[in-house]
Structure 1
């Protein structure tokens, strides 16, 4: 038990993570936060600050925060984290077409390598959710990555 898990932002963050990313993701995050493991403080801080303080602010809708976050993750080439936020974006109301438009919008600013990796990560999530035809080839399968 840390100081973080007693704060209102931590509790708000737990609820938000559960709504956006589901019970399984939350269980992994909270297990790390509560285990005394190497990354425990980082997990607690992420719950309290990123989700409890930032994602819960009233200035932008969650859907809009998802769009912004996806753009940032594409630009920084963080495809593993992008997968989580594609899932969150879908749960926050984004559709497949909007995800595609985010990739197109990012292309002239981030370049092909970042967008190709983001498309690969997004296709994996869309397949997992059954939202695209399984025959759709990814960039990696086409030899582009």
Structure 2
């Protein structure tokens, strides 16, 4: 039986919440949960089960690698609020400031200098807050 077939929605949600808390921290997840209402509950369930319970919990890549990929995706998509959250997550996942810088330098070539410029500003702010 494949991993997907073995995971019920309830188990996927529990695994996702565990991973989400480990990657993003309890405070962030608690704030997201506190803001959940009838309109956003289905979306919160979806991202918990699939983004965190299915993808981030897969054994094929370690969390450091997933963080590098996610930082790049946030820059490429121009998702700067999410980028800030994932810079914090990258630190929790063991990336150093220099490794985060290298990921952002790489994005300058493949995502564009203006996107990387904005990403560096966000990361600089987040890293200063985390010190």
Normalising by structure 2, report the TM-score. 0.89
Query: Structure 1 residue 28: deviation in Å?
Result: 2.1
Cα distance between partner residues in 1 of 2:55 and 2:109: 28
Query: Structure 1 residue 15: deviation in Å?
Result: 0.9
Name the structure 2 match of 1:7.
10
List per-residue Cα deviations over 1:44-70 (Å, max 9, x = no partner). Answer: 111111001100000000110000111
**As a proportion of its length, which structure holds more helix?**
2
Q: Which has the higher contact order (CA 8 A, sep 6+)?
A: 2
List aligned pairs for 1:114-125, cutoff 5 A. 114-125=115-126
Cα distance between partner residues in 2 of 1:44 and 1:76: 23
- Structure of larger gyration radius: 1
Alignment partner for residue 16 of structure 1, among 1, 19, 24?
19
Name the SS for the 1:59 alignment partner: coil
List aligned pairs for 1:1-145, cutoff 5 A. 7-33=10-36, 35-36=37-38, 38-130=39-131
Query: Structure 1 residue 103: deviation in Å?
Result: 1.0
Cα distance between partner residues in 2 of 1:56 and 1:105: 26
Say what the alpha-carbon RMSD is for the aligned residues: 1.2
Cα distance between partner residues in 2 of 1:53 and 1:29: 19
Cα distance between partner residues in 2 of 1:66 and 1:25: 17
Name the SS for the 2:25 alignment partner: helix
